[in-house]
Structure 1
Amino acid sequence: MDLGFDVVDLPETDHVAEGETAPDFVRPLVNDEFWEDVALSDLTADGPVVLVFYTMDGAFPATYMWNELRDRDFDDYDATVVGLSISTPYEHKTLIEERGMSFDLFSDPKNEVAEQYGVVNDLDGMAGISEPRPATFVIDGDRTVQYAWVAQEWPDFPDYDALEAAVEDVV
């Protein structure tokens, strides 16, 4: 079957693992109305967080991931689901509106948070340009990672059933 693109193995990564403390960060958190600087620790203080790293807004993996999360009613869980990519707050607002999402998205144009989490994907042929590789982390109120999944190839998508089970275990 011709997929129209190549599946590429990604290099090994030393990402944040289950049982480790999730690095804290402050970045603009965007919703459908506005954005403001928010710390991850502010979100975890209110309960578990599902942190979803994804490719830039508009790329098909991002669209597919957010459609799947939206359609599975992840916003019905007693956990905060947030995304993070290199896209700007303006691009995030457009994605939220176009996809009819109720999830907020962190903007990290320099990809520094992905570096902290060990999920950087250097883009082929673009010196110094990177984005996060798809990854999901379920983080409890103490910022302990309870579940971690990181893409091993591009494109690659989370096991959404396993993610849902991990969220159910934490809430």
Structure 2
Amino acid sequence: MDLEFDVVDLPEADHVEVGDEAPEFTRPLVNAEYWEDVALSDLLPDGPVLLVFTTMDGAFPATYVWNELRDRGVEEYGAQVVGVSVSSPYEHKTTIEERGIEQFTGLFSDPQNGVAEAFGVENDLDGMAGVSEPRPAVFLVEPDRTVSYAWVAEEWPEFPDYDAVEAALADL
């Protein structure tokens, strides 16, 4: 297959693992109607959270991930589906509309990439001093903040095993 881009190995990541406590954070959470500052712990009383880290909105990996999760109807398993990226609330509003993901809980805006750093999934962008974004990653966070599923990309681009994500959700 002739790809129009290079597949790149990412450096090892010291990321949150299954059984770890998910780091607490507060960021603007954008949904189809508005955005407001929300903590991860604010969501957990309503059930598990499928926390999906993606590249910036509009980049093909993020587009592909949101299309796949939407088409699979992962919200029907009972977990809240929540994204995290460096994109602004304005960009997230556009992504929610364009990708047709209004049924998901929302997308956290994390322009300084602090949430990705806390989860150990930050990815420094080559040739750009001080610029990073999350590497693709998926964490299923239980209401007690325990991580019960974790997947983190080891190369770019790389996508989650969506069947494994669904299996983790089915075990809820």
Match in the other structure for 1:40: 40
Relative to the length of structure 1, the TM-score reads 0.98
Whole-Å Cα distance in 2 between the matches of residues 117 and 57 of structure 1?
Answer: 20
Match in the other structure for 1:112: 114
Aligned equivalent of 1:123, options 122, 125, 131: 125
RMSD: 0.6
Whole-Å Cα distance in 1 between the matches of residues 32 and 66 of structure 2?
Answer: 15
Match in the other structure for 2:23: 23
Q: In the alignment, is residue 81 of structure 1 matched against residue 89 of structure 2?
A: no
In the TM superposition, residue 5 of structure 1 has moved relative to its aligned partner by 0.2
Whole-Å Cα distance in 1 between the matches of residues 63 and 85 of structure 2?
Answer: 12
* Structure-to-structure mapping, 1:54-65, within 5 angstroms: 54-65=54-65
Match in the other structure for 1:143: 145
Q: In the alignment, is residue 14 of structure 1 matched against residue 14 of structure 2?
A: yes
Q: Secondary structure at the match of 2:42?
A: helix
Amino acid across the alignment from 2:138: T
Amino acid across the alignment from 1:97: E
The range that moved more, 59-68 or 42-51, is 42-51
Whole-Å Cα distance in 2 between the matches of residues 44 and 32 of structure 1?
Answer: 20
Q: Secondary structure at the match of 1:45?
A: helix
Whole-Å Cα distance in 2 between the matches of residues 161 and 42 of structure 1?
Answer: 28
Amino acid across the alignment from 2:36: E
Whole-Å Cα distance in 2 between the matches of residues 149 and 44 of structure 1?
Answer: 20
Structure 1 segments of 4+ aligned residues over 2 angstroms from their partners: none
Relative to the length of structure 2, the TM-score reads 0.97
Amino acid across the alignment from 2:126: D
In the TM superposition, residue 42 of structure 1 has moved relative to its aligned partner by 1.0
Q: Give me the identity figure in percent.
A: 73
Amino acid across the alignment from 2:91: E
Match in the other structure for 1:2: 2
Q: Flag structure 2 segments of 5+ consecutive residues without an equivalent.
A: none
Q: Flag structure 1 segments of 5+ consecutive residues without an equivalent.
A: none
Amino acid across the alignment from 1:14: D
Whole-Å Cα distance in 1 between the matches of residues 123 and 170 of structure 2?
Answer: 29
In the TM superposition, residue 78 of structure 1 has moved relative to its aligned partner by 0.9
Whole-Å Cα distance in 2 between the matches of residues 100 and 158 of structure 1?
Answer: 20
